[in-house]
Amino acid sequence: MKVLTMLIVFITTLIVNIASFYQADFKIYVLGTPECRTDSQGQKIFENVTAELFVRSQKVSTKFDVCDKKFTLTVERPSHDMYLEVIKAKFTYQPSNKFCTRIVPQNCQTIAWDSSLFHGYCTLKRINPDIPL
């Protein structure tokens, strides 16, 4: 009887831990480096870049910098959102007004998880509005 009680407690605890892991909000990091565009002679065109992170069409994060600089955009979401293609990053170059959009996880070069910290990481593939994926 004691063994059965211990087994029931163990299984219940395991189920609760698994459920809380999948329901917990993870801090999802979307990392990428928007490349500078080039002119017809192959020279870099240095432009300002606006990086925006969207979840289901709602803007949740914005960063500004110049091209060839690494961007990190973050959002707190349930871990399963990382696989539902509801997270998108849009990179807009100014003054050319060219942009490219990357979808998580479809356009992630790498995906990593740190479940002890509840963090998820997506490093985006090449970001350049002149070169399609």
40 falls in which pLDDT band (50, 70, 90)?
A: very high
List, for residues 56-67, the tens digit of each pLDDT value.
Answer: 999 999 999 999
For residue 43, the model assigns a pLDDT of 95
DSSP string, 26-95: EEEEEEE-BPPEE-TTS-EE--EEEEEEEETTEEEEEEEEETTS-EEEEEEEEGGGGGTT-EEEEEEEET
Closest by CA position to 29, among listed 95, 108, 128: 108
Which has the minimum average pLDDT: 20-29, 92-101, 102-111? 20-29
Is residue 101's pLDDT more than 70? Answer: yes
For residue 83, the model assigns a pLDDT of 85
Which has the minimum average pLDDT: 26-35, 94-103, 114-123? 114-123
List, for residues 73-94, the tens digit of each pLDDT value.
Answer: 999 998 888 788 899 999 999 9
Domain positions in the chain: 25-124
> CA–CA separation, 42 vs 73, rounded Å?
29
Which architecture characterizes domain 25-124 according to CATH? Sandwich (2.60)
